[in-house]
Structure 1
Amino acid sequence: MMIWSGVSEFVAVAETGSFTAAAKRLRLSVAQISRQVTALEARLNVRLLHRTTRKVMLTEAGAVYFRHCSHALEGLDEAERAVSDLQSTPQGKIKLTAPITFGEERIMPLVNDFMVLHPQLEVECHLSNQLVDILADGYDLAIRLGHLPDSSMIARKLSVRRRFVCAAPGYINRFGVPHTLSELEQHHCLVGGAGYWRFVEGGKARSIKVSGPLRCNSAYALVDAALKNLGLIQVPDYYVQEHIQQGRLLTALEPYCEPDEGIWAVYPFNRQLSPKIKSLVAYLSEHMSAI
């Protein structure tokens, strides 16, 4: 199968624009990727890539070759998925990513439950608050929160989340409940990394700069501070739902809360028919809507 030697490596470099990124995607060393692509160019007797210290670009011949090779590799992927589709149960590997805290709190417990049901599955999960490149980094599935930018990806809404402004009863007893956004200036606001809170007033989105005795990029630390009567916080529901239900925190400014934000499963178009991805997304949707 000499004809395929170096093709996957070349396509990965062309798609990611980097030998390093291609090596990461294929889980090979940069040296291996470079050797394979060089050998491929020698076999074809044509230069496929312009290499500089800053970036890698396709030559004219490389662009033609890439177009044909990418279609051929997509055909191979489809063939493998067609064989996999014959299996009645989800199996194989799923590589997914999710935001750190939401992944820890909501996603991974459900993924672990799903793996118990389907022991032939192998999952690789990367929790990160950075917006990863799903295709370039080889992910099958990404969990995204809030507004989604336009893309060629498939997106399925799993559930929703809401941000709450709340404080402990001890703080409320001492300083009162704010009823308007302008009253926030008179309160101790415990601030996250952004330094502002988001609201809707008169049908328009507003970002209000707030300040107080504590600033921290950990929502858990802010919740702890609020429970100790240090001030008001604005955090997503999954941090405070239990505290609100138990009366340890009281909500405020609810008429100004933003509409519920979407929680999305995002995946490449060619994964939409994969049984393991379809089953996992359906499982997440069913169980997250019940939370």
Structure 2
Amino acid sequence: MQWDGISEFVYVAENESFTQASKKMAISTAHVSRQISALEKRLNIKLFYRTTRKVSLTEEGRVFYQHCRAVLDGLDEAERAITNLQSKPQGKIKLTAPVTYGEQQILPLVNNFMQQYSAIEVTAFLSNQQMDLVEGGYDLAIRLGKLSDSSMMARKLGKRTNYVCASPSYLHKHGIPHSLSELNSHNCLLGTRDYWHFTEQGKEKNIRVTGKLRYNNGFGLVDAALKGLGIVQLPDYYVQHHLQSGELITLLDNYREPDEGIWAIYPENRHLSPKIRLLVDYLAEQLA
């Protein structure tokens, strides 16, 4: 459908004057006249009776006016709806995050966020696989560590620290390692990788570690460390509480790798709507 001339037609019909219509639209009378003439030619009907003193609708013009008025009213309503969405955030947000970090950090914060913005609906899918945001229809993803996908926009929300730690009972029995090489003589509690990350003299260093226990679950590794079974390297959200209580003790702090970023990412070609921007701002404030 071509929209040219529709607004001019409605203004002329309601004001019964080309001159008054042009004044209210802040355009020239000649422009209004040209648009109406082009519209009549396109529709192949006469919309107005024109005299030197008055402009009035033809029968066809009255029918056309009723439909055009409804269309313009609908456009006005659509514009108001968008304005309301921007002034009062509402609608749906679909996000994804890693399982453990999502459970412990992101979902509780999302719940707090929704207490403030009850008109927003959130669907969260937790997975340790990096989901395809575009294919999955995700508005937002939370990623940890180094980012590899340059096609996405990213905002840093906070940081995480990886700690090497053990229980006092283990250290009392097996001693405290003071260098990276001493890890060879300790039982290291392994996750999904055989290497632990450190920094030595300003350079990244990966150290191969061995041990009698391997889990693909961080909570299982924490429990093993608490029970004195060995030394573990895990992010702060697994061990922070136990470090504060003294149940675990940090080791090799001088070799600790730099903190890793916590990121909110979203597709580069997707407009960051007010509701999503509001959530990202809230997460950044809470995780900073």
Report what 2:111 is aligned to: 112
Report what 1:241 is aligned to: 240
Residue 194 of structure 1 aligns to a residue in which SS?
coil
Letter in 1 for 2:105: R
Report what 1:30 is aligned to: none
Report what 1:142 is aligned to: 141
CA distance in 2, matches of 1:81, 1:151: 34
CA distance in 2, matches of 1:83, 1:194: 51
Task: Give aligned pairs, total.
Answer: 211
More displaced stretch, 201-210 vs 172-181: 201-210
CA distance in 1, matches of 2:88, 2:270: 16
Runs of 4+ in 1 over 4 A off after TM superposition: 80-83
Work out which of the two has the higher radius of gyration on C-alpha atoms and give 1 or 2.
Answer: 2
CA distance in 1, matches of 2:136, 2:272: 20
Structure 1 gap segments, 5+ residues each = 2-79
Letter in 1 for 2:133: I
CA distance in 1, matches of 2:263, 2:130: 14
**2:210 is aligned with 1:211:** yes
Letter in 2 for 1:255: N
CA distance in 2, matches of 1:202, 1:156: 30
Cα distance per residue 1:226-271 (max 9 Å; x no partner): 0001110000000000100110000001111110000000012354
Identity of aligned residues (%): 57
Shift of 1:272: 4.7
TM-score by length of 1: 0.69
CA distance in 1, matches of 2:80, 2:210: 56
Residue 219 of structure 2 aligns to a residue in which SS?
helix
**Aligned-residue CA RMSD (Å):** 1.8
Letter in 2 for 1:84: I
Report what 1:72 is aligned to: none
TM-score by length of 2: 0.70
Report what 2:163 is aligned to: 164
Report what 2:275 is aligned to: 276
Residue 84 of structure 1 aligns to a residue in which SS?
helix
Shift of 1:81: 10
Cα distance per residue 1:205-246 (max 9 Å; x no partner): 222121112111111001001000111000000000010011
Letter in 1 for 2:202: G
CA distance in 2, matches of 1:81, 1:195: 57
8 Å Cα contact 1:271/1:277 also seen in 2:
no
8 Å Cα contact 1:201/1:256 also seen in 2:
yes
CA distance in 1, matches of 2:122, 2:200: 43
> Would the alpha carbon gap of residues 103 and 82 (structure 1) be closer, same or farther in structure 2, given more than 3 Å must change?
farther
CA distance in 2, matches of 1:130, 1:158: 20
CA distance in 2, matches of 1:282, 1:98: 17
CA distance in 2, matches of 1:81, 1:138: 25
> Would the alpha carbon gap of residues 234 and 85 (structure 1) be closer, same or farther in structure 2, given more than 3 Å must change?
farther
> Would the alpha carbon gap of residues 81 and 149 (structure 1) be closer, same or farther in structure 2, given more than 3 Å must change?
farther
